[in-house]
Structure 1
Amino acid sequence: MPKNKKKAESSSSDSDDGPVDRNVPPEKKAKMGSRTDDKEPTWVLEGKKLVKVREFKGKVYVDVREFYEKNGELLPGKKGISMTPEQWRKLLSLGDEINETISTMC
């Protein structure tokens, strides 16, 4: 057997590498679209999909990301996007046009 043979990894799951806790305690649950009492301004989109306004390396970002729980702590996963305030404002300005497009497709 070759020494450098790596095990092929394949996953059809669309969740993050972190564990999935489907039984989130009531005190950690938040209503969809509600702001949480986190140290960073945070809003829950659905489940563990959150929007946070956070600072990273001295710059402010709007972070839309799927989080996972590890050792009782909610950690950011790989799935998501961080936008500068300018990118966020541009996305918001496209809201009506995007909503019209969605309406024609549904």
Structure 2
Amino acid sequence: MPKKKAAESSSDSDSGPDDRTPVKKAKKTDEGFSLEFGKNRRVTVSEFKGKVYVNIREYYNKDGAMVPGKKGISLTPEQWKTILERQTEINDAIKEL
């Protein structure tokens, strides 16, 4: 079965050009670190069951409060470190597309 190209993906989680909003400053909250980027998206650093996670997640408005949705990923600090260490490779791949 041939691979789908990124543009042919059926996922609706990427809103494309609508995501070009300015990045807001990161802030430290009672729950941990939080950085908003794009439309209703955040990177947070928090603790859950005694372990630290980097969460990249979409949020939605529920009764006037922004709450985390199902779309997202939780990374361990080791996984996050791997991404950061390989950012040059990732950026090069982006430039090639």
Q: TM exceeds 0.5?
A: yes
Q: How far does the alpha carbon of each residue in 1:36-58 deviate from its partner, in whole angstroms, 9 at most, with x for none? A: 35322100111210000011111
Relative to total residues, which structure has the larger helix share, 1 or 2?
2
The structure where strand makes up a greater share of residues is 2
Aligned pair 1:38/2:26, yes or no? no
- Structure 2: unaligned runs, 5 residues or longer: 1-9, 14-20
What is the aligned length? 80
Change in 2 beyond 3 A, CA 1:13/1:71: farther
* 1:51 lines up with 2:43 in the alignment: yes
Give the corresponding residue for 1:66: 58
Give me the CA root mean square deviation: 2.2
SS across alignment from 2:27: coil
Runs of 4+ in structure 1 over 3 Å off = none
Cα distance in 2 between the residues matched to 1:42 and 1:78: 17
TM-score, normalized by length of structure 2? 0.72
Q: Comparing both chains, which one has the higher relative contact order based on Cα–Cα distances under 8 Å and sequence gaps of 6 or more?
A: 1
In structure 1, list runs of 5 or more residues that go unmatched.
Answer: 1-11, 16-29
State the Cα distance separating 1:71 from its structure 2 match: 1.1
Task: Report the structure number with the largest CA radius of gyration.
Answer: 1
Q: How does 1:9-48 map to 2 (within 5 A)?
A: 14=12, 31-36=22-27, 38-39=29-30, 40-48=32-40
